[in-house]
Structure 1
Amino acid sequence: MNDNGVRDWYIVVGQQGRANFERALQLKTWGAKTRTKFEDEAHTAIKPGDRVHFVLTPKWSGAGPVPTGFPRIGLDQYIVRADEVVVRVTEAIFEDTQPIWDDDVYPVRFRFEIEARHDAVRFSPGLIPDTVRDAVRRSLIAQGRAISVESAGSLRQAIEEVLSRYSEATRQPFSHHPVADTIRETIPEMLSSWIDPNRYTVLASVGRGNWASVPWVAILDLNRGGNIQSGLYIAMLFSADLSEVVLALMFGVTGGRGEAPRRVRQSLASQVQRVRRGLRIGGQTWRMDSDVQLSDRGVGAQYGRGIVLYQRFSRETLPTDNQWRALLNEIVDLYDRAFDVLNADNTLSAEEAPSAYGKAPFDLMAATEEMNKLGYRINPAALLNVLLSLQVRPFVIFSGRSGTGKTTLTRMAAQLFGWPYYRVAVSPAWADPADLLGYISPVSHQRVAGGLDALLVSGNDEALLCLDEFNVAKVEHYFSDFISAMDSGHGSAFWGPMPGLERLASDSQEILMCPPNLRVMATMNFDDSVQSITPRVLDRANVIEFDIVEEDQLVVDHGLDWTALEHMARFAWPWTEAADRETDEAAEENIRHIWRALKGSRGQFGHRVAHEMARYVALGISYGDVLSWSTSQSREVLLDNQIVQRLLPKFHGTASHGDIVALTRLLSQLLDRGDVGEDVDRQVLLQDAINRGVFPRTVGKISRLFETYTEDGYASYF
């Protein structure tokens, strides 16, 4: 801001907004849907005389590939090139609903005169001030919000806004409130620019459905695992009376649901004391006591029990941004040292529960041996198949006769990775998502709990849900909200928004949520009493069969030790987000051949299934050495699994001649014979495949489909 009070603002215009911007230049008017797009965190708005710098479609301009997480990267890494148009605001913000642009109204507007144009400006350190580059970065992240140079990068100003305006905000609607945006977006963006985004993630919450009494921002180490409920993390906590903000290293205090409260409290206190003793820090800079009372009610009242060390600041003693950066460096170092303390001795006393960060690195053979010791018979390849299926899609269906170990395996998987476990027996009467989620009674106006009530109120980040005998009712009816949310998950979350659940939470004024990392295992039987599974459901799951008990197949031993199950070794999940980006070009080419073979049949599949099949194979190949498979053998085994589990289940039912021809073409592709005509003898192909021993699971299943189709025109997969 200069002496006349004139501000410089930066607004990023993305590729999709370029057409609107050209129109704006003609009319000398720019618009947005809400006023907050033209305000900073202190709600100072663009005014006449201010300069606005429109930055057009910034592109990465640094050396090497685009950094992971771009544009959410550190400011020192942020190097982009873009055209710039500088304008002078001539008229205060006003509202007008007269259509100007083709795609939307954008009623909040300001008028301007063009001052200058600059082509291919390089926003890089040394050439452009950091405050300007930060304003451009933040506007890009906030999808075109106006960022003033004066507010860019000011963590202190953002925290002051929360302390001064949060109380007022809680009396206003929750959704899209500027103060909520400051906590959930602005502060995390600033903190992310000071830490390594490839190692740490920043989370924030102002509540779910209702304003939280103690809003928070948290930093978690992605390489160490853990979660907000029971893990170790760095937290910025705002007291309920808004008199102070606390920067703390703490354990989650909402984990351990279902355990005795006394045991949970003892375990938490033991962990806190162990880290305090191990860190051995002296002086008065960081306090290590329990003298933190952020609220007198709710979860906020419990946070003090989980705090290892902290510093507290009133509005008058808030650090400057440089001081915040130094404090963050200190506490991140203490965070790393705390994990060293925890990992130095993972042997817990009888009163201590296993911790999220005390999990052993995943070892396929050790995990298999652990399950077998407890009486559950499973081979390493079968366990790997289940885990890969869960990795590429958080929904797996176990099919088979009663008593083959389907439900037992769901419980063992939860124990193996330390996930909270929820089992729901599906009712034949279920016909609507409300049967799972609950509903608001039109008589009492109170929420009536559904089958998933314990899960929805748990507050867990991770969980495993077993839907037992899930096809006794029509799955696509009662599970429809989950099917839709499964397709819209993004980033590290498996599930996207569930409008029905969000409406229910809003109407009931309760905190209800689907754990973002929820994994669902559904079990089903096939007899005359159950519903068929539609292609919409089959297209979104791996279907894993539990067949008649034979050697090397999944089987439950009668001596399964349920007591020992509670104390079995727990492992970290095998794959990270980075590993999930691995590819295998040979597998992708094979999948394209399979697509061509099945095109036009009921087994035809789309981009999503192809992508997930390729991910499954790419991730699984790395376990070939463990299982003594060559690369080509690994690829065949994994593709064999995917054809049987993702594609062939859709052939169950009344089959057409075209479906049988497609399966014949598939056999030919698997035998490397290329395309074949309709007159080829499918039994000859089938016998050749059997003799050569290629893709044994697929060949065996196609043989059954051919046999049942020949006998009665009904192809039976199950």
Structure 2
Amino acid sequence: FVKWICESEEQYKIIPVGADWTNREPLLGYPNGLNSKEYITPDSSVLHVLIEASKKENQNRPHFLILDEMNLSHVERYFADFLSIMESDDSIKLYTGSDRKSLDGLDIKQEIHWPKNLFIIGTVNIDETTYMFSPKVLDRANVIEFRITKEEIAGFLENPQTPDLSKLEQEGINMAASFLNISASKDIYKNDVLTKKLNLFFSELQDVGAEFGYRTASEMMQLITKLKALEPSTTDDECLDIAIMQKLLPKLHGSRSKLVKVLIVLAALCINENQKEDFIKNFDTHFKNKFDGVIVIFDISFEKLIRMYRNVLANGFTSYAEA
């Protein structure tokens, strides 16, 4: 996507996150303690991208930071400054005292603001070498899970090849301004039926201490609004399904005794309302029959909840992030 929408490589940077990142220096650098006029910029070039995105002539060009394997270290440690100013008009304080320059002659101001045309994407794998995300991080992010089907892997094995990303380069640059306009819009798509359904999910998540707050509710409604803007034919239920999957379910984790009943009730909220009571009462039967005859409204969320249910039965514990 980044190669598709960007005009040049100056608009994005792929940053491999290190397991030893314990502070902000790998992203923002630090003032040289031996030279009051010098600022040491990080090898990751993050600061350079921030400065480029802040320039007036680049306001209509989206910029991206791609943190590769971002959970190899605690995100809350190296990314704390970004998390704090992400939704405010505050700035990141880089240093105090006299003005400084980088080693390559770039003027580094004492503080830097979050440019509205800067977006951060993080790739995540879950295994024994990685860390889980705190609620603070999850509240400020949309989690997108990538999975492949048997048909897709079969098609790949029949004709394995490496994707040629060069074919995507600059193909979407005429959409850059529209992308920024949609992102900046604060309009909210309002619908009483959506509000009612979200309230039901709130009530069930509250029972396990995973209820969402004002920020999450607002971001879910904004996501639904933007999905509608991108594809007006998308139904309200399809939009809400995506919002539930990206914003609500990632906070679910816990033991079998804590989550089994909650997972069943949440799954029941994903099906036809007329079947809800029977679904909960005879869940074991439906589960054994692979939910034959059940009318699912929120397909993506339902499938995820059932996978989590299987995991909690098999392991005694489950979470959104599956190793």
Give the secondary-structure state (helix, strand or coil) at the position aligned to 1:528: coil
Determine which of 683, 694, 706 is the counterpart of 2:284. 683
1:570 equivalent to 2:163? Answer: no
Note the alpha carbon deviations across 1:301-346, whole angstroms, 9 max, x for none: xxxxxxxxxxxxxxxxxxxxxxxxxxxxxxxxxxxxxxxxxxxxxx
Over the aligned positions, Cα root-mean-square deviation in angstroms equals 3.4
Deviation at 1:564, TM superposition (A): 6.1
Note the alpha carbon deviations across 1:15-37, whole angstroms, 9 max, x for none: xxxxxxxxxxxxxxxxxxxxxxx
Determine which of 65, 85, 88 is the counterpart of 1:485. 85
The whole-number CA distance in structure 2 between the counterparts of 1:650 and 1:570 is: 36
Closer/same/farther in 2, CA of residues 419 and 439 from structure 1, 3 Å limit = closer
Give the secondary-structure state (helix, strand or coil) at the position aligned to 1:541: coil
Tell me which residue corresponds to 2:16: 425
Contact 2:4 2:168 in 1 (8 A): no
Closer/same/farther in 2, CA of residues 504 and 483 from structure 1, 3 Å limit = same
Q: How does 1:534-553 map to 2 (within 5 A)?
A: 534-548=134-148
The whole-number CA distance in structure 2 between the counterparts of 1:699 and 1:497 is: 39
Larger Rg: 1
Q: How does 1:244-283 map to 2 (within 5 A)?
A: none
The code of the aligned residue for 1:635 comes to D
Contact 2:142 2:247 in 1 (8 A): yes
Note the alpha carbon deviations across 1:512-535, whole angstroms, 9 max, x for none: 634233111111112222122222
- TM-score normalized by structure 2? 0.76
The whole-number CA distance in structure 2 between the counterparts of 1:465 and 1:421 is: 6
Give the secondary-structure state (helix, strand or coil) at the position aligned to 1:702: helix
Contact 2:66 2:123 in 1 (8 A): yes
Tell me which residue corresponds to 2:51: 457
The whole-number CA distance in structure 1 between the counterparts of 2:172 and 2:268 is: 46
Contact 1:582 1:615 in 2 (8 A): yes
Tell me which residue corresponds to 1:657: 257
Contact 1:595 1:604 in 2 (8 A): yes
The whole-number CA distance in structure 2 between the counterparts of 1:601 and 1:584 is: 27
Name stretches of at least 5 consecutive residues in structure 1 with no aligned partner: 1-408, 489-495
Tell me which residue corresponds to 1:497: 90
Deviation at 1:625, TM superposition (A): 5.0
Q: How does 1:389-408 map to 2 (within 5 A)?
A: none
Note the alpha carbon deviations across 1:550-571, whole angstroms, 9 max, x for none: 6689x99635251661465521
The more displaced of 443-452 and 660-669 is 443-452
Determine which of 549, 558, 563 is the counterpart of 2:162. 558
The code of the aligned residue for 1:594 comes to F
Tell me which residue corresponds to 2:72: 472
Of Structure 1 and Structure 2, which has the larger fraction of its residues in helix?
A: 2
Closer/same/farther in 2, CA of residues 442 and 419 from structure 1, 3 Å limit = closer
Deviation at 1:456, TM superposition (A): 3.2
| Number of residue pairs matched by the alignment | 291
The code of the aligned residue for 1:440 comes to P
Q: How does 1:44-443 map to 2 (within 5 A)?
A: 409-414=1-6, 420-443=11-34
1:526 equivalent to 2:126? Answer: yes
Identity value in percent: 23
Tell me which residue corresponds to 2:105: none
The code of the aligned residue for 1:565 comes to E
1:642 equivalent to 2:246? Answer: no
Contact 1:689 1:699 in 2 (8 A): no
Determine which of 581, 601, 605 is the counterpart of 2:208. 601
The whole-number CA distance in structure 1 between the counterparts of 2:143 and 2:276 is: 28
The code of the aligned residue for 1:573 comes to S
Deviation at 1:414, TM superposition (A): 3.8
The code of the aligned residue for 1:648 comes to L
Tell me which residue corresponds to 1:448: 40
Deviation at 1:688, TM superposition (A): 4.4
Name stretches of at least 5 consecutive residues in structure 2 with no aligned partner: 101-107
Closer/same/farther in 2, CA of residues 585 and 622 from structure 1, 3 Å limit = farther
The whole-number CA distance in structure 1 between the counterparts of 2:213 and 2:237 is: 21
Closer/same/farther in 2, CA of residues 536 and 485 from structure 1, 3 Å limit = same
Deviation at 1:623, TM superposition (A): 5.1
The more displaced of 568-577 and 593-602 is 568-577
- TM-score normalized by structure 1? 0.37
Deviation at 1:508, TM superposition (A): 4.6
The whole-number CA distance in structure 2 between the counterparts of 1:675 and 1:598 is: 17
Note the alpha carbon deviations across 1:417-450, whole angstroms, 9 max, x for none: x992122111111111233111223344432223
The code of the aligned residue for 1:638 comes to C
Of Structure 1 and Structure 2, which has the larger fraction of its residues in strand?
A: 1
Contact 1:594 1:669 in 2 (8 A): yes
Deviation at 1:548, TM superposition (A): 2.8
Determine which of 208, 212, 217 is the counterpart of 1:610. 217
